[in-house]
Every structure is written in C-alpha cells, then in structure tokens.
C-alpha cells in the first residue's frame, strides 16, 4: 500500500482534493493498483512556521 506525505503551506480544500486525486491517479496508472490502496497525507504548516530562501514564508 503506497503512502505519500505532502508537506505544504495551507491550501484551499478544493486544491487538496485535486492534488489527492492526481497523486492517486499517478499510482493507479503507473503501478496498476486499485485507488483504494493509495494513501495520501497532507501536512499543512502555517506560513509563519517555515521559511524559503532564507526568509519566513509569511513575509513574502
């Protein structure tokens, strides 16, 4: 059973639905496995709790 973890800043629930669907489809198409066996976890971190390029993400 594949398990994928996506770490990201907060996103709209519709975008997360689409991402989960597309990741699942990629495993189904590539590994020829049932969609029910693919687990996708989304871990959201607030923009004031991570940085990119030496700057706090909330400051961008």
Please report the pLDDT score of residue 46 as a whole number: 97
Mean pLDDT, rounded, for 8-27: 97
Total domains in the chain come to 1
Mean pLDDT of 10-37: 98
Query: Which CATH number characterizes residue 51's domain?
Result: 3.30.429.10
Q: Give 31-35's long-range contacts (Cβ < 8 A, gap of 24+).
A: 31/2, 33/2
SS3 31: helix
What is the residue range of 29's domain?
3-56
Nearest to 11 by CA among 37, 42, 53: 42
Give 60's pLDDT tier (boundaries 50, 70, 90): confident
Which bin fits 36, alpha (ψ -120 to 50), beta or left (φ > 0)?
Answer: alpha
The model's pTM is: 0.86
């Amino acid at each position: 059973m594949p398990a994928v973890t996506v770490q990201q800043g907060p996103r709209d629930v519709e975008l997360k639905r689409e991402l989960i669907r597309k990741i699942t489809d990629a495993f189904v198409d590539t590994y020829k496995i049932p969609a029910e066996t693919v687990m996708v976890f989304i871990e959201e971190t607030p923009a004031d709790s991570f940085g990119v390029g030496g700057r706090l993400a909330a400051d961008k």
